Structure 1
């Protein structure tokens, strides 16, 4: 619908204008009154007032539309949606509505487990046979396809008392502070694991280097495990990791000598030596995740 275009023409029906007529209806001319040809001043005044009222309503409606559009825009910006497009693609205000950005941060990396295990000042978790070589006597330890039964365990600050031959002197010379032992059995084979604890990794490394083939730990019997390696030939291993030197002695519970062909005895000693290494490393891992780097 257009207004004021194309010059004067026939009056169209306007629902806002009193006395306007629907299309094709015949309306009396406001200029004539009773057929006298003079203007009907009352009708003209009424029509003028109606048009003024209509303009006010239209203007109010436009203002309401602007307010409503502004409200919608505010909601969109608050929710972080896309900014509304402006008419003509220019001249509109824009706002940044993305998620607040922050400078990237990261927690300090944990200490390396081996770094913790290298120094008694960092390696401070409780240490005993129950924490390092857990399990009750009579309990089972599964390593791969092999199942071992745990026997007795022991702890002493007198490291030399839990060692034989040349090992006591080596332990004392390098400042061993504690010896932890536990025995495991499987199919007539018994293995005692011994863990010597030092203050630093340097001390443990020195002890390993000074230990010879005669440096062995004392086999631990009791709680269902008969004495073994008492006068019989047994197989031994030694190694170190962090501030720990760990040893094994493997023999037959029946007193038979271990020979190079006794794969069962060799496998048992190797499996439990590796298990001991894993337990020491796990101790370092647990502490590394609990304490950030300083």
Structure 2
């Protein structure tokens, strides 16, 4: 092959020729080359001018003296290496482009075929795929929860049970109404004395209260006495058939409940001035009478007596209301129909 020079003809082939031509262009002369040979004349072996009017170049860049042209050979080798590097680099870029194209096609194909598993689930009418081939229902054909349009009844009111004897059926005694031997109210501790319960309501009222209780058909009176620091108080709780009767007894009240002595508490509030109060809650009317155990007259400046009356009145109110609340709670949790 040639490295840039023209393609020189090979040895001509002439059938039957015996001219004795030199295969490299010289003629054969017996006995050596005579003077005036074609080489001396600078002519071609065929007696013609060299192509392109110049001497033929050696295919390996040989000099006229037979020494190879190393510079030309080095340039030719470097040119081959440059072409090889360009071919390798171009092939790498082409391969990268092909791989990127294949990945892009695979991603597009996968997104087009796979269900949307990102946040938000399936779009349109598609259903979210579940393990084992299960699918979430997309329609409303399955059973749906139902809710009653009727509002549940309100919880029972404790006052409903305290308003009448027909509903106020819980057991009642002096001990359940005034439990224990001591009463702690805030930072004050009272000692309980005697207690009593009677259906003779008129017998436990003084200075007119007995007649009021009888007038409004009182059915029972429960009493208890407490003492603290020389001040005693008796509480009397009167029961009636309904709330209206109890309220009338409170409004008509005069005099006070008879003090209950005993249980460590001596006589008090006799032939002296004491503090009397009355109130009502539901079918209950309750009364208090407080004074000094020494028989001292109570005045408006005796705050200890007023505080004792307040404490026992609040305690009695709470105890009566607790009865109604307990019965309301029991009714709310009772089975329907009394079963």
Structure 2 equivalent of residue 204 of structure 1: 246
Contact 1:164 1:216 in 2 (8 A): yes
For 1:291, the equivalent position in structure 2 comes to 331
- Once residues 151 and 267 of structure 2 are traced to their aligned partners in structure 1, the CA distance between those partners, rounded to angstroms, is 55
The aligned runs of 1:146-185 (5 Å cut-off) are: 146-185=188-227
Q: 1:129 corresponds to which residue? A: 174
Question: Residue 112 of structure 1 aligns with which residue?
Answer: 157
How many angstroms apart in 1 are the aligned matches of 2:128 and 2:170? 57
Q: TM-score, normalised by structure 2?
A: 0.56
Q: Which runs of 4+ in 1 moved over 4 A?
A: 104-107
Which residue number in structure 1 is paired with residue 293 of structure 2? Answer: 253
- What is the DSSP-based 3-state SS (H/G/I as helix, E as strand, rest coil) of the residue aligned with 2:273? coil
Report Cα offsets for 1:153-177 as digits up to 9, x if no partner. 0000001111111111110110100
Q: Give the Cα–Cα distance (whole angstroms) in 2 for the partners of residues 110 and 177 of structure 1.
A: 30
Give the alignment's TM-score, normalised by structure 1: 0.64
Query: Secondary structure at the residue paired with 2:310?
Result: helix
Report how far residue 127 of structure 1 moved. Answer: 1.1
- Give me the whole-angstrom Cα distance separating, in 2, the residues matched to 1:207 and 1:142: 30
- Once the two structures are TM-superposed, the CA of residue 101 in structure 1 deviates from its matched residue by 3.3
Question: How far apart in 1 are the matches of 2:151 and 2:305?
Answer: 49
1:269 maps to 309
Post-superposition CA distance 1:189-241 (Å, at most 9, x none) = 001000000010000011111113xx200000101011111112110100101
| Residue pairs, 1:220-239, within 5 angstroms | 220-239=260-279
Corresponding residue for residue 101 of structure 1: 145
Return 194-203 or 98-107, whichever deviates more. Answer: 98-107
The 3-state SS of whatever aligns with 1:223 is: coil
Bigger radius of gyration: 2
- Let me know the Cα RMSD of the aligned residues: 2.6
RCO (CA 8 Å, sep 6+): is it higher in 1 or 2? 1
Structure 2: gaps spanning 5 or more residues: 1-126
Q: Does 1:193 align with 2:220?
A: no
Name structure 1 gaps, 5 residues minimum: 1-81, 87-91
Query: Secondary structure of the residue that 1:191 maps to in structure 2?
Result: strand
| CA distance in 2: counterparts of 1:117 and 1:238, whole angstroms | 18
- Contact map agreement 1:132 1:283 (CA 8 A) in 2: no
Deviation at 1:106, TM superposition (A): 7.0
Shift of 1:132: 1.4
Alignment partner, residue 74 of structure 1: none
